[in-house]
Amino acid sequence: MLSKRIIPCLDIRNGQTVKGINFVNIREVGDPVELGKRYSEQGADELVFLDITATHEGRKTFVELVKRIAFNLNIPFTVGGGISEIKDADALLAAGADKISINSSAIKNPKLIDDLALHFGSQFVVVAIDAKEENNRWEATIHGGRIPTGKELFSWAKEAENRGAGEILFTSMNHDGTKNGFANEALAKMSEMLSIPLIASGGAGTMKHFSDLFKFGKADAGLAASIFHFGEIAIPDLKHYLRIQGISIR
C-alpha cells in the first residue's frame, strides 16, 4: 500500500496566501514562499498553490512567484489557476512547478486533459473537482463553486482519469472551511472507482479527521489549508498521530 501524503494548500490572490470559508469571507494569511518553506521544513509531502483569481494579466506575476517557490523549496509542488491551454502549463512547469492542476478549464474543454497528458505526461496533470451535494447528488461546480455545471461528480472523475489525468483533487464544497471532517462516503466511492491517486480536500479540523479520511475515505492524500496556516495542527504532530493510528505515512 502506498504511504499517505499530507499536503498543505495555499490559495494565492495578488501574490499573497489567502483563506476563506465555503470559498467566501477571504482574508490574507501570509507570503506563499515563506509559508511553503515552513511547511517543507515541517515535513509536508507536497504543496499545492492555487491562483484563485487568475487572469491573463496576472499570469506573468504568478509565473514569477512559481520561480521563487521553486528556488526555495525542496519538495514537489502543484500549481493551478487559469490554465486553459498548453502554453499556460508550459510556462508554469518551466518556472519549476512539478505538476499543474486544472479545474474549470477542464470542464469547459475536456479535451484539454488529453492534450496536457499527451504533451507532458499524465504524471504532471492533476484534475481538480469542486463539487457540491444536493438531494443526494454530487455536482461539479466551477468558478470557485459559484456555478453548477450539470456534470455528476463520479462520472466526471472517471472521465478525467480516462482522458489522462494522473491524479484527482476532490474538494467538497459542503465541507470546505467547516472543519467538520472530510466527505468520506463520497471519497470512498470515488476511490473504489479510480485507479489513480485521490487527494481529498475540504473539512479538515482535527487530527482524527485525517485518520478517518485514510481509514474510511480511502484517499491517498489529505489536503488542508487553514488548520496549517493558523497553527491549529502542526504537521509533525499530525504525522506522529497517524503513525500511532497504524496509518502508513511518508
Catalytic residue, from 51, 88, 130, 176: name it: 130
Per-residue pLDDT band for 71 (boundaries 50, 70, 90) equals: very high
Residue at 175 is within a domain:
yes
Answer for the pair 106, 78: CB distance below 8 angstroms, yes or no: no
Number of Cβ atoms within 10 Å of the Cβ of 240: 14
Task: Tell me, yes or no, if 130 is annotated catalytic.
Answer: yes
Give the per-residue pLDDT at 14: 80
Task: Return the higher-pLDDT residue of 215 and 26.
Answer: 215
Over the stretch 187-215, which tens digit does the pLDDT of each residue have? 999 999 999 999 999 999 999 999 999 99
pLDDT > 90: percent of the chain = 80
Can you give the residue range of the structural domain that contains 94? 5-244
CB atoms near residue 247 (< 10 Å): 17
* Per-residue pLDDT, 25: 60
Is position 222 within any domain? yes
In a domain, 250, yes or no: no
CATH number at residue 41: 3.20.20.70
- Write the CB contacts of 210 (distance below 8 Å, at least 6 apart in sequence): 6, 204, 222, 238, 241, 242
pLDDT at 213: 98
- Give the pLDDT confidence score for residue 53 in this predicted structure: 73
Number of domains in the chain: 1
**Residue-wise pLDDT tens digits, 99-108:** 999 999 999 9
Residue 173 forms part of a structural domain:
yes
Q: Give 57's pLDDT tier (boundaries 50, 70, 90).
A: low
Lowest-confidence pick of 12-26, 82-96, 143-157, 224-238: 12-26
Catalytic residue among 11, 45, 51, 220: 11
249 lies in a domain? Answer: no
Mean predicted confidence (pLDDT) in 94-113? 96
Nearest to 59 by CA among 88, 95, 101, 102: 88
Residue 58 has pLDDT above 70, yes or no: no
Contacts within 8 Å (CB) and 24+ apart, 180-183 = 180/205, 181/205, 181/206, 181/209, 181/212, 181/213, 182/209, 182/212, 182/213, 182/217, 182/219, 182/222, 183/133, 183/217
